[in-house]
Amino acid sequence: MMKLKQLLYGCFAILALLTAGCKDDWDLNGEQIIEGDAQLSITVAFNQENTEIGTRTPAGGDKGDIMDDINTLYLVIYNKDGKLHGKYPVRGEGLTPHKDVSDVHYELTDNRTEQEREQGLQNNATGKVTFNLKLSSGNYYIYAVANVDDFDDKDVSTRDKLKALEFDWNKENTSNNSQMFGIFTFESDRNATDEEPLAISATTQQLHCWVRRLASKVTVAFDGSDLYDNVQIYITNIAIKDIPKICVLGNPNTPGPDNNDESEIDKRKKRYEAIHGVIETGKSIKIQELPTDITSIVPDNYLHICNNQHPYLGIDQDKGSIADAHGHQALSLFFYENMQGTGKDKAQSNDGNKIDFPNPDMEKEDSGWKDEKAYGTYIEVEGFYRCSSSSSHLGYGPIKFRYMLGQKPGENQPDNNYDAKRNTHYKLTLKFKGYGNDADWHIDYKEDPGIYITSPQYISYLYNKSMMATVKIVGEIEPGTTLHAEIVGTSNETEAAKSSETFWRPWGNGSDEYPNPDNASDPITPGNYYWRGTVHDDGPWNSFLSLKKTQLLVISDSIDDNAQNAKNKEYFTKNKKGTRDYII
C-alpha cells in the first residue's frame, strides 16, 4: 500500500521567562503571592522543525524557512478577571518598546530544547528575542503575539476578543501569513492551556511559552522504486487546494458555510463564496511543462519516476533522497489551519482491489466527493502516466493524485482524520507501487476512448516465430464488433500508409524515437542489416510477416529476385496474410 509519511511535531517558538538568580522562591501552586514588582528576564525564540536541507530544481511554492523570523512581538497580559492589564510592544519596525520592557536583543541561533539535541534533531538557526520585563505581582493570563500587523489598533480588551482576531490569507506574499500565538505557563509545555491564571510573585520567576504559527506547510516527495518495469509517471504540478480564507489567532480554525441550514450540496457549491470559506488554489510547485504531442514524452527528454534510474523524479539527478525533498528549506506549500474533524476513511479502496467510491460527484451526497469534507484542504499532484508493457495494463494519459490533509492515524487505525493543524510540517510521500494505482491516494485517470496497442512490437526475424500483441479498447462497443488488423505496407491506400511506408521493416521506422541502426553508436548491428536499395514490388510480403499462420516453406523457387517478389506479393495478397478480422 502506498505509504504516507507525516511529521506531526510542530514548528514552535519558545518564550521563556528565565531566572536571573539560582533560587526560586515562589509558590508553584499559586496559593501565595509575594507583593512587589517582578524583574523578569525573557527569552523569545522560534523553534522550527528539524530535517536535512535539500535543494530542488522545480519552480513555484515557497522556501520552507520563509516564516522563521519574529518580525514583531507583543506581550498581552490580562488580570485574573480576564480584563486587559496591558498590551506590551517588544520589538518591530517602527515600534517603541513598552516602558517596562528593556534590553531588547534579536539574533539567529540554535533554539532546540535539550531533549531535541539529545535526539539528534538537525538545527536550523531561527529568530530569538531576549528582553527584560517589569511586572507587578498578581494573577495574570499572559500571551505572546508575533508578526501581526497594526496590532496596536486591534481590540483585545478581553481574552476572547484576542483569540478571536481574524486574519485573511495573503495570496501574493506567503511570508505575510506568519502570525504566531502562544500561552505562558510555569513549565515548558507544548500543549499549554490557559484554564487558570498564573500567580506572579515579586521574587524572580521562570515562565515558558511555546509560540505556534497559524500556518502549516506541506512538502511532497515521490518514490517509484516499487513500480513495475515499463511504467513511467511524469509529474507536472503539485498544488494545495481549498485552503482557508481566514484564520483565528487563538482558537481552532474551522472553515465552513455561512448558513448551516442550507443543503449539503449548496454548502459545497458555495465554499468559495462563504466568508469563512476556502480559496480554490493556493500556491503550486511547477515541475515541468509537457508537450501536447504525447509521442515526444519520452524518459530521455522529461523528468519522470520509474523503478530504476529515476525513482525520485530525477530531481538532482536522483542523488538526493526522500529526506532531502522534505528538508526544512525545501519548496513548500503553506496554508492556514483547517480543522474538519473525523470522517470517512480516506483510502479509495478498503480491500486494495475494488474502488469504493468510483464516481465522486459534488452534486451527490455520499458519493465520496472530497471524502465528504467540502471545506477540507487537499494536495493535488498532476502528471502523465504511461505503461508500455505488453500486457492488459497498457495505457497512457493525464493522471491526478489527490490526498486530503489531516493527522496521521495510529497503528491499525483508519485514516479518517481531517484536522490539518497549525504550525505543522506535513510530509507526504507518494509511494508508487506496481502499475502506479494504489489505495491511499485518490486517483483520477481517464483515458480517451480509442484503441491502444504497445508500439513498437518486437518479433524475431528467424523462421517460424510468433508473438502476441495486447490491444486495449477504451469506451463502449457493441457485442460482435469486428476489430480489423492490418500490416501497413507500401501497397495499402490508407493515409497512414502513404505517409509512413516502412512500419513493417526490421528494427525501426527511421524516426527520432525508433531510428535505424548506426554503426558508430551500435557496432553490433550492421548498417546493411537489410537491403536499402531499390526493391521491385517492395512491401511486407517480403518481410516474412503474416497475421495468419503460413504452412508453405517455399512460395516460389524462382532465382530471379523480381519474379520472387512478385510471387510473394501474389501469395500474400491472395491469402490475405496482411489482414485479419477479430470478433470482439
The reported pTM is: 0.74
Query: Do the beta carbons of residue 407 and residue 8 sit within 8 Å?
Result: yes
88 in the Ramachandran plot: left (φ > 0), alpha (ψ -120 to 50) or beta? beta
Please check the confidence at residue 46 and state whether its pLDDT lies above 90.
no
H or E, element range at 118: helix 114-118
Give me the DSSP letters along 230-295: TEEEEEEEEEEEEEESEEESSS------S-TTS-HHHHHHTTTTSTT-EEEEEEEEE-----S-GG
- What percentage of the chain reaches a pLDDT higher than 90? 30
The answer to whether the CB of 393 falls within 8 A of the CB of 435 is yes
**pLDDT for res 579:** 87
C-alpha angle 559-560-562 in degrees, rounded to nearest 5 = 145
The confidence score (pLDDT) of residue 321 equals: 67
Residue in this structure with the C-alpha cell 516465430, named with its chain if needed: 465
What whole-number percentage of the chain has pLDDT above 70?
71
101 touches 119 (CB < 8 A): no
Classify residue 281 as left (phi > 0), alpha (psi -120 to 50) or beta.
beta
Q: pLDDT band at residue 289, thresholds of 50, 70 and 90? A: very high
pLDDT tens digits, residue range 564-581?
Answer: 788 888 888 888 888 888
- Residue 500's pLDDT is 47
Q: How far apart are CA 472 and CA 394, in angstroms?
A: 7
The span from the first CA to the last CA of the chain, in angstroms, equals 35
Model confidence pLDDT, tens digit, residues 407-428: 888 777 788 999 999 988 888 8
**Joined grid coordinates for residue 130:** 531576549
Handedness of CA 86, 90, 93, 95 (dihedral sign): positive
Instruction: Round the average pLDDT of the chain to a whole number and report it.
Output: 77
Q: Minimum mean pLDDT among 260-264, 296-300, 491-495: which range? A: 491-495
Higher pLDDT pick, 550 / 30: 550
Q: How many CA atoms lie within 13 A of 48 on its CB side?
A: 26
460 exposed, middle or buried (CB, 10 Å; 0-12, 13-18, 19+)?
Answer: exposed
Q: 21: pLDDT confidence band, cut at 50, 70 and 90?
A: very low
Edge-to-edge strand order for the sheet containing 378-387? 59-60, 278-286, 231-244, 378-387, 395-404, 442-445
Task: State the cell numbers at 189.
Answer: 509545555
Encode pLDDT of 49-69 as tens digits.
422 222 234 556 787 778 878
Task: Give yes or no for residue 87 having a pLDDT over 90.
Answer: yes
pLDDT the model gives residue 210:
79
**14 vs 201, higher pLDDT:** 201
User: Pairing state of beta strands 215-227 and 425-434?
Assistant: parallel
Q: What is the spatial distance between Cα 54 and Cα 309, in angstroms, rounded to a whole number?
A: 19
State how far the Cα of 207 lies from the Cα of 142, in Å rounded to an integer. 10
For residue 573, CA distances in Å to 224, 489, 563, 578 come to 48, 12, 15, 7
Q: What stretches of 147-255 adopt beta strand conformation (E)?
A: 166-168, 180-185, 198-200, 207-213, 215-227, 231-244, 246-248
pLDDT (tens digit, 9 = 90+) per residue, 479-527? Answer: 888 888 887 765 444 444 444 455 566 655 556 655 666 656 655 555 5
What would the mean pLDDT of 90-114 be, rounded to a whole number? 82
Distance in angstroms (rounded) separating the CA atoms of residues 355 and 348: 6
Q: What angle do CA 199, 205, 209 make, to 5 degrees?
A: 80
